[in-house]
Amino acid sequence: MIIYRQSARVLVQGITGKQGTFWTQKMMECGTRVVAGVNPKRAGEQHLGVPVYATAKAAMAESPFDVAVMFIPPAMAREAALDAIKAGARTVVILTEHIPARDVIAIHHAAARHRTRIIGPNTAGIVTPGEGFVGIMPGHNPNIFQPGEIGVISRSGSLGTLICLNLTRAGFGQSAFLGIGGDPMIGTTTRDALQAVDEDPRTRAVVLVGEIGGAMEEAAAEYAAGMAKPVVSFIAGRASPPGKKMGHAGAIVSGTLGSYDGKRRALEAAGVAVADTPAEIPGLLGAGPRDRLRQPAAHALSV
């Protein structure tokens, strides 16, 4: 599961900590179905009205869940992720950043064996306005997120928040926000997320927020070329100097590999409209190069 649905049952690992408590409250206020939490030191207690267990395995036995979200420090992230994966989580949302590379590899290996979807590491989470959210995105803020028909994909939580704010101000609601994460080794790629919103019947158009470095945007462009739904994009890092580590993943641009120009050319060749600034995105949705996008910018696309 990449797109959050309100029917999904959520386990919060690290629920009793300051951040876990705050964001669990916000998730629940939005309708997220949090059924349990994990903290080995407080197993057997109730926190925020849900039971706390020593492990995800113990939680699954008594309070079955579909999605696990981790408010766990880097040194303990591998153990927590493997616990959730082996317990049978369909999806694990890994908010933690700076997890050692060997631990991330172990997490992805276990997830592949157990057919668990990993979102992250270093993700801000996923949001479905009107249904709920999982993570640390401000899904509870109606000035930023409103139900609608635009799917938004972003590695950056802050940049994704800005894009959604601009969309909402322009009258475009979101069908889903997918924060795929900023780790060098993420479990859900831009292409994976693009396919998910393409297959989502609630989504009419897609905003893809990319970054320099790597080849995820190029792979997504190949998929976008065959899509019926229109896609617009913004690529961060246009002014970044070559040969320097930039962005979440410390991506290095060498020549045209992973460069802004290379990504933009690939996207535009696939029929994707690319904005120069985030502020231009609502306008591209309202008056893009494809006839399907020719709708008033102040109103959400209608079915």
Catalytic residues: 248
Residue 207, strand partner residues: 152, 232
The single residue listed with the structure tokens 């905003």 is 207
Q: What are phi and psi of 232, to 5 degrees?
A: -120, 160
Secondary structure E strands in the chain: 9-13, 33-38, 46-47, 50-53, 67-70, 91-94, 117-119, 125-128, 132-135, 147-154, 174-179, 205-211, 231-236, 245-246, 251-252, 273-275
Cβ neighbours of 19 (radius 10 Å): 12
Residue type, 201: P
> In terms of Cα–Cα distance, which of 302, 1, 230 is closest to 132?
1
Please name the helix (run of DSSP H) or strand (run of DSSP E) that holds residue 191, with its range, or none: helix 190-198
CA 292 to chain CA centroid, Å, is 26
Residue 172 and residue 206 in contact, taking contact as beta carbons nearer than 8 Å: no
Residue 156 and residue 182 in contact, taking contact as beta carbons nearer than 8 Å: yes
